[in-house]
Amino acid sequence: METFAGFDAITLARIQFGFTVAFHFIFPAFSIGLASYLAVVNALWLRTRDEGWLRLFNYWLKIFAVTFAMGVVSGIVMSYQFGTNWSVFSDRAGPVIGPLMAYEVLTAFFLEAGFLGIMLFGRGRVGDGLHMTATLMVAVGTAISATWILSVNSWMHTPQGHVIGENGQFLPADWWEIIFSPSFPYRLAHALTAAYLTTAFAVGAVGAWHLLRDEHDNPGVRRMFSMAMWMAAIVAPIQIAIGDAHGLNTLEHQPAKVMAMEGHFDSHPDGAPLILFGIPDQDAKEVRYAIEIPKLSSLILKHDLYAPLAGLDTIPDDEEPPVAIVFWSFRVMVAIGFAMLAVGLWSLIARARGRLYGSPWLHRVAVLMGPSGFVAVTAGWITTEVGRQPFTVYGLMRTAESASPLAAPAVGASLIAFVCVYFAVFGAGLVYLLRLMSHAPERGERGPAGEAGPIRTAGRHAATPEGERGVHGTAPRPEEGRA
Amino acid sequence: MSLGISFDLSTAWALLLALAVWIYVVLDGFDLGIGILYPAFPEKRSRDLMMNSVAPVWDGNETWLVLGGGGLMAAFPMAYAILMPALYPPIVAMLLALVFRGVAFEFRWRTTSVIGRKAWDTAFFGGSLLAALTQGIALGAILQGIEVEGRAYAGGWWDWLTPFSVLTGVAVATGYAFLGACWLVLKLEGEDQKPFRHLARLLGLVTVGFIGAVSLATPFLEGDYWLRWFTWPSMAVAAPVPIAIAVIVLLLARSLTHHGHRDWLPFVLGLALFGLCFLGLGLSMWPHIIPPDVTIWDAAAPEKSQIFMLVGAAILLPIILGYTGYAYWVFRGKLDPEKGYH
């Protein structure tokens, strides 16, 4: 078989899909949460007419715009990855998953794209009410989008509602069953909650950073930190409960994945231990240097200390997922989940003592936890996707038979191109995001509309001090900027 | 499967997808065209104006491309599965090009240095040009025929590159630049508008030349195209298209030379010109979705998939067109260079 740098076409295609989707996923994980956050903040501004909220809205709106643009362009890539690298999968599964993805475009992408321009630039043109509507539409669009694509993904994990045609295609039999496949509700809840948590920790880190930098009295900074910590305290425990339910669902439908997550090479007829750490060795079929707590895995997964749990010894070797990756990525995700819970509880204590804004160590830890959501989301995604291997449609279609009939050099060259472009472009994007975040929200903080005008330094409003413009509603609103 | 119903559904989906692709081509066409025109306007002020004229709408425009790809996978999965590997290098290049130009809309305002701004200007130009070229090349590669075996692509990974596909690539890029110039005639006025009116005239002329060249070359690609256009009775259906194109071209020439008040006219005529070219291409290819062997019925998804989506599309597309139109309406009118767009 033709290879490229020692890899065959299928391995390169898998690396390419994993790379492009992992990169893409980072942006929606942030923009789903941020869109909802912006809708809440804008609603608070309209309700209270407290300029602090508007400041906060405009501040995060600019960050949202940059994030969203990166999500859009990396998302377009995904809609073509299925065909370019996985054409056999697309042909066979297209009749089932194609319509769901088409519905995603029709119900979500257009909604987001159609109202994004108004959300970013249109307040001065359409007025507060319609602008609020547009903001809500964008937020709703991001959630609808997640719903459809997770429905597709869930069907690939727990396929049902289809028949297999003479030409090998998966043909839809019952759309309801396809859309609501067994893992879908759990996966959706887990992923959406993850997006909200990821955003909360990113927002919280920015707030904490500015609190550490002596912006104690900046109401924007205080509000963003406080809101983020409320989210952490309330949502992190909910997420852990959802994750547990999702895990039990996986045990029911994809036991091999859970065996890999747990590192259970052997079956345990009278209670399985929880392996905390160790080095899985798939060839030797054992976890070396394992540190384990007896019976705890059975307690977690079966709610019974002595419940029997089957291991990978019950699964044919050629149907086992790669254990080490799944084992480790799962631990990374869980560890971050509990760290989030700890920060949430810490913030509750600090709040109760009236020291939420005066606890430098809490702020330092919150800054450190800023990127944690992105790491957790990626680790969780690796756990579930690698855990589905060696199948694309679980149990029915193998990854090895899903790829396009492409020469390895074609896939290898495009992979190199994607890696170079993504690191250059999204690396620059990260720099711009950090630069935006490095300023605290200021008086008269302007949105993208205010500053994206071509003649930003012209003296049209020279008589009005920058910071005061538009604050009291008589002068043009700040987000009208030059308009 | 009853052939009658399948015929209707596949035809409906072929028309619907053609409509989506046409909407994509004209909408993203003009905003890609604006990027292609960048090198002709090195001044920051002009470039700001040009980019701001599409900043609120480009994302919506590009969504039609996702609908084209997603819709193709859903309604004609086999065609999607053949085309993407067959057009692998141009498709990947297009996606990467769209990454560069898409982020340039935001990054250009975020960079603080002149070098940074110029770098994103270059990304905006290069990305727009490469995306346009690769889309045109893909069109040419489809027209010239794709080698298929069973349900899969059977050719090599450079088969798409021929003089004909390069011709269609350059033709589409020129056409996009022309649409971009017409859009700026619509959005600007006075001295700002002037250079774009000149450019639109020049690019219009070149575009028409390319339309002629592609039209002349196409019938010689393969037997069916020749028969379609030059034998009776299909000629009766096909002949009005070039005649209508000639009429549009005359109207365009008039609208661009007379400095009237109808600044929207060149753009609208440009849309019509693209529409007619599209119709001509459709007449050439019909009923093939991948010439020379795969028809829309060969590639069709089962009825159940097509019906499920058709219901959604019938309800949702009018709504989408409604709010997309509204978004354009909100940002209507001339761009005021003193105020900026927004």
The per-residue pLDDT for B260 is: 65
What are the chain B neighbours of A109 within 8 Å (beta carbons)? 63, 66-67
The per-residue pLDDT for A284 is: 84
Per the CB < 8 Å rule, is B81 touching A90?
A: yes
- Model confidence at A188: pLDDT above 60: yes
In this prediction, residues A389-414 reach a mean pLDDT of: 90
- Model confidence at B255: pLDDT above 50: yes
Per-residue pLDDT reduced to its tens digit, A135-183: 999 999 999 999 999 999 999 999 999 999 888 899 999 999 999 999 9
- Model confidence at B43: pLDDT above 90: no
Tell me which H or E stretch contains A446: none
3-state secondary structure A159-180: CCCEEECCCCCEEECCHHHHHC
The per-residue pLDDT for A38 is: 95
Tell me, yes or no, if B111 comes closer than 8 A to chain A by beta carbon. Answer: yes
CA distance B341 to A117: 12
Number of alpha carbons in the 13 Å side-chain half-sphere of residue B322:
6
The per-residue pLDDT for A1 is: 60
The per-residue pLDDT for B328 is: 85
Q: Which of A91, A116, A169, A418 is the best mutation test for B, with the most CBs of B within 10 A?
A: A91
CA distance A279 to A292: 12
Predicted confidence band of residue A449 (pLDDT cuts 50, 70, 90): low
Predicted confidence band of residue B1 (pLDDT cuts 50, 70, 90): very low
Question: What phi and psi values does residue A478 have, to the nearest 5 degrees?
Answer: -55, -40
- Model confidence at B37: pLDDT above 60: yes
Give the residue extent of every domain in chain A. 12-181+407-483
Most confident of A161-165, B258-262, B338-342: A161-165
Tell me, yes or no, if B153 comes closer than 8 A to chain A by beta carbon. Answer: yes
Per the CB < 8 Å rule, is A114 touching B301?
A: no
In this prediction, residues B229-255 reach a mean pLDDT of: 83
ipTM field: 0.86
Nearest CA distance, B327 vs chain A (angstrom):
6
Identify which of A102, A175, A407 has the shortest CB distance to residue B157. Answer: A407
Per-residue pLDDT reduced to its tens digit, A293-325: 888 888 888 888 888 889 888 989 889 999 999
Number of alpha carbons in the 13 Å side-chain half-sphere of residue B39:
9
Nearest CA distance, B301 vs chain A (angstrom):
5
Tell me, yes or no, if B157 comes closer than 8 A to chain A by beta carbon. Answer: yes
Kindly list the distances between the CA atom of residue A330 and the CA atoms of A276, A321, A347, B179, in Å, as whole numbers in the listed order.
11, 13, 26, 51
Per the CB < 8 Å rule, is B308 touching A99?
A: yes
Per-residue pLDDT reduced to its tens digit, A75-90: 889 888 888 899 899 9
In this prediction, residues A26-41 reach a mean pLDDT of: 93
The per-residue pLDDT for A230 is: 96
Q: Who's near A166: CB < 8 A, 6+ residues apart?
A: none
The number of C-beta contacts closer than 8 angstroms across A and B is 282
Predicted confidence band of residue A268 (pLDDT cuts 50, 70, 90): confident
The proportion of chain A whose per-residue pLDDT surpasses 70, expressed as a percent, equals 93
- Model confidence at A346: pLDDT above 70: yes
- Model confidence at B128: pLDDT above 90: yes
Structure tokens at A111: 């909604």
Could you write out the DSSP letters of every residue in A288-323? EEEEEETTHHHHHHHS-TT--B--GGGS-GGG---H
Alpha helices (runs of H) in A105-218, residue ranges in sequence order: 110-121, 123-126, 128-157, 175-179, 184-212
CA distance A462 to A471: 16
Per-residue pLDDT reduced to its tens digit, A104-120: 999 988 888 888 888 98
Tell me, yes or no, if B342 comes closer than 8 A to chain A by beta carbon. Answer: yes
Predicted confidence band of residue B223 (pLDDT cuts 50, 70, 90): low
- Model confidence at A359: pLDDT above 70: yes
Nearest CA distance, B57 vs chain A (angstrom):
6
pTM score, whole prediction: 0.87
Q: Which of A61, A79, A103, A106 is the best mutation test for B, with the most CBs of B within 10 A?
A: A106
What are the chain B neighbours of A438 within 8 Å (beta carbons)? none
**Rg (alpha carbons) of chain B, rounded to whole number:** 20
**Chain B residue closest to A433 (CA)?**
B110
3-state secondary structure chain B: CCHHHHHHHHHHHHHHHHHHHHHHHHHHHHHHHHHHCHHHCCCHHHHHHHHHCCCCCHHHHHHHHHHHHHHHHHHCHHHHHHHHHHCHHHHHHHHHHHHHHHHHHHHHHHCCCHHHHHHHHHHHHHHHHHHHHHHHHHHHHHHCCCCEECCEECCCCCCCCCHHHHHHHHHHHHHHHHHHHHHHHHHCCHHHHHHHHHHHHHHHHHHHHHHHHHHHHHHHCCHHHHHHHHCCCHHHHHCHHHHHHHHHHHHHHHHHHCCCCCCCHHHHHHHHHHHHHHHHHHHHHCCEEECCCEEHHHHCCCHHHHHHHHHHHHHHHHHHHHHHHHHHHHCCCCCCCCCCCC
The per-residue pLDDT for B259 is: 67
- Model confidence at A28: pLDDT above 80: yes
Long-range contacts of A48-52 (CB under 8 A, 24+ apart): A49/A473, A51/A443, A51/A471, A52/A219, A52/A220, A52/A223
Per the CB < 8 Å rule, is B330 touching A80?
A: no
In this prediction, residues A265-278 reach a mean pLDDT of: 88
CA distance B342 to B339: 8
In this prediction, residues A391-404 reach a mean pLDDT of: 91
The per-residue pLDDT for A446 is: 76
CA distance A381 to A329: 9
Structure tokens at B200: 């639109």
Predicted confidence band of residue B9 (pLDDT cuts 50, 70, 90): confident
The per-residue pLDDT for A36 is: 94
Q: Who's near A220: CB < 8 A, 6+ residues apart?
A: A52, A55, A56, A59, A440, A441, A445
